[in-house]
Amino acid sequence: MERMESMEPISALYTTDYPEIHPGGSRRSAGSQLGSPVAPSYNEDMMHKTILVGDSGVGKTSLLVQFDQGKFIPGSFSATVGIGFTNKEVTVDNMKVKLQVCIFTVTHAYYRDAQALLLLYDITSKTSFDNIRAWLTEIHEYAQSDIVIMLLGNKADMAGERAIKRDEGEKLAREYCVPFMETSAKTGVNVELAFILVAKELKHRAVRRPDQLSFQIHQYVEAEEQKTSCCF
C-alpha cells in the first residue's frame, strides 16, 4: 500500500487559520514536456502544481488541511485571500511524486500552470453541485488541455443532509470523462487516495511515451475507493 509522507515541516508556514499565502514562492521546474520517442525516466525533483477548485464552503481548505496534517480542524476558515498551499510528497510505485497543492480565489491566471485539479462540490449543497458545470467550462477554457482532473463530492460524512446522490456525481463525472470519488475532509475518507491517484496519473504521464495509452485513473478509483454511501 502506498503511503504519503511529509516532505518538510510546512506547518510553520501556517497558523491554525491557514491564512492564504501570496504567489511568487516555489514554482514547478520545467515539467512534463513530452514528445521524445524514448520514455524518459521519472524526475523525482519535479513539482506538480495541483489546484483545488469549487464553490466557497465546499471544503477546499479542510481537504488541504486533512491531506497536509491528517486531521480536520472544524469551523470556517477565513475567506480565502490569495492562495493557500502545501507541498507534499506522495509515494507512487516506489517513487516520490511531489505535489504542490494550492487554493486560489482568483483562479483564471493560475489554471495555466496547474498540472492537476481537484474539483469539489459539497454533497449537501445542490448549488455547489450545479455550479460544477460552470467550473468545468472555465477549466476547459483556461487550463492546459492535458490537465489531470478529478471530481470530488466532499462532506460524505453528512449523509443525513445529503442533497446530491452519489449516482448524480458519477453521472456528471462520466459526462465529462473525469474520475469521481466522494470524500470527507472530516473523517479523511478517500482524501489521501484522491491525491495518490492524481500523483499516479501525473507520474504516468511524465514518463509515458507518446504512443502509449494514458493510465486509466478511473479503474483505480473503482478498485480502491472506500464507498461512503452506506457507512455513516
Ligand X SMILES: Nc1nc2c(ncn2[C@@H]2O[C@H](COP(=O)(O)OP(=O)(O)O)[C@@H](O)[C@H]2O)c(=O)[nH]1
Q: Which residues bind Mg ion (CB under 5 A)?
A: 60-61, 77, 80
Helix 217-224 with 191-207: angle, nearest 10 deg? 150
Shortest Å distance, C-beta 19 to Mg ion:
10
User: Rounded to 10 degrees, what is the CA torsion of 110, 148, 30, 42?
Assistant: 160
**Applying CB under 6 A, does 154 fall inside the site for ligand X?**
yes
Nearer to Mg ion, 42 or 135 (CB): 135
Q: Residue 58's binding partner, choosing from ligand X, Mg ion, none, with beta-carbon cut-off 5 to 8 A by kind?
A: ligand X
Helix (H, G, I), strand (E, B) or coil at 182: strand
Nearer to ligand X, 79 or 109 (CB): 79
**Applying CB under 6 A, does 191 fall inside the site for ligand X?**
no
**Applying CB under 6 A, does 160 fall inside the site for ligand X?**
no
Shortest Å distance, C-beta 219 to ligand X:
25
Q: Residue 158's binding partner, choosing from Mg ion, ligand X, none, with beta-carbon cut-off 5 to 8 A by kind?
A: ligand X
Nearer to Mg ion, 80 or 125 (CB): 80
Strands (E), 45-131: 47-53, 83-92, 95-104, 116-122
- Give the H/E segment covering residue 148: strand 148-154
Q: Residue 205's binding partner, choosing from ligand X, Mg ion, none, with beta-carbon cut-off 5 to 8 A by kind?
A: none
Shortest Å distance, C-beta 17 to ligand X:
10
Contact present, 89 and 10 (Cβ < 8 Å): no
**Applying CB under 6 A, does 186 fall inside the site for ligand X?**
yes
Shortest Å distance, C-beta 116 to ligand X:
17
**Applying CB under 6 A, does 117 fall inside the site for ligand X?**
no
Rounded to whole angstroms, how far apart are CA atoms 171 and 152?
13
Strands (E), 10-74: 47-53
Q: Residue 184's binding partner, choosing from Mg ion, ligand X, none, with beta-carbon cut-off 5 to 8 A by kind?
A: ligand X
Shortest Å distance, C-beta 198 to ligand X:
18
What is the distance, to the nearest Å, from the Cα of residue 217 to the centroid of all Cα atoms in its chain?
13
**Applying CB under 6 A, does 76 fall inside the site for ligand X?**
yes
**Applying CB under 6 A, does 58 fall inside the site for ligand X?**
yes
**Applying CB under 6 A, does 105 fall inside the site for ligand X?**
no
What is the distance, to the nearest Å, from the Cα of residue 195 to the centroid of all Cα atoms in its chain?
6
Shortest Å distance, C-beta 32 to ligand X:
28
Rounded to whole angstroms, how far apart are CA atoms 121 and 99?
22
Q: What angle do CA 86, 135, 201 make, to 5 degrees?
A: 50
Residue type, 127: T
